[in-house]
Amino acid sequence: MLNGLIHRRSCPMPEFCQLPLDGELVPVPLPTRPSRRSATKTRPSLQRVREVLKPYLDLPVLRSLAANGGDVRGAIRALGYEPVPAEVYALLNLYTELLRPTMREQITAPADLAALLMAHMGLLEQEELWLVSLTTKNHVIAMDVIYRGTIDSSSIRIADIFKTALRRNAASIIVAHNHPSTDTMPSPEDVAVTRDIADGGKLLGCALLDHLIIGYGRWVSLRERRLGFSS
């Protein structure tokens, strides 16, 4: 399973790990800790690490694994790497950060956004409706909390959603709300709200691309289930 997540090339950051051609993870000693002054000059930013590792890691597969509640550490254990060395755990912590889409990152599939939203919404004790504003190329512009409370067609003002979207200059939007019960099965009210927002988007020229329901360790795309969308 893990072998499919790592491209079989030489490791671009040998100071962190070695990835032989067979895909086996082999820990190596980490570099000595630099002084505080030199660390500020030499420590790579997360964005830089992401750019360096992108050709070598299948980030969409990793992100999909995380968004579906998959356990990367468990995948390694299943391959017989037990006990897992501390160096490998350090790498996994890095991978966890890489899974999270950043602002301006392009959303190409529901799992991209679900991985980000689950980190923020998965443990909320009250229902919240979030708006994700996107550019013409589906890059994230901003995420806004639109409403807190039970989500139904009588409580949600569609005008508030599109007022925020237009203020963000959004070309399209995705909405998401959480189910504190962790049951992500869409309710009839969820479908009705989706239909109302989609209809409003057609009138204003700001398409609703999807409606995600977020639970603890799971999520559902109403677009994928063809609920509330006419096409």
Q: Say which residues have a Cβ less than 8 Å from residue 193's Cβ, sequence separation at least 6.
A: 151, 152, 153, 156, 211, 228
Q: Which domains are present in the chain?
A: 2-99 (no CATH), 110-221 (3.40.140.10)
Give 147-206 pLDDT, tens digit per residue. Answer: 887 776 666 789 999 999 999 999 999 999 999 887 889 999 999 999 999 999 999 999
Q: What pLDDT is stored for residue 218 in this prediction?
A: 86
Confidence of residue 118 (pLDDT cuts 50, 70, 90): confident
| Strand 128-134 with 140-148, pairing | antiparallel
Which pLDDT value is given to residue 7?
47
pLDDT at residue 154, rounded to an integer: 60
Which of the two residues, 219 and 50, has the higher pLDDT score? 219
- Distance from chain centroid for Cα 70: 13
Report pLDDT for 54: 60
What Rg do the C-alpha atoms of the chain give, in angstroms? 20
pLDDT-based confidence at 119, cuts 50/70/90? confident
Which alpha helices (H) appear in the chain, and where do they start and end? 36-42, 46-53, 59-67, 72-78, 86-99, 110-121, 158-167, 188-204
Residue 106 is predicted with a pLDDT of 79
pLDDT exceeds 70 at position 24: no
Q: 221 pLDDT exceeds 90?
A: yes
What mean pLDDT do residues 18-45 have?
Answer: 44
Q: Which residue, 151, 138, 230, 157, is CA-closest to 186?
A: 151
The reported pTM is 0.59
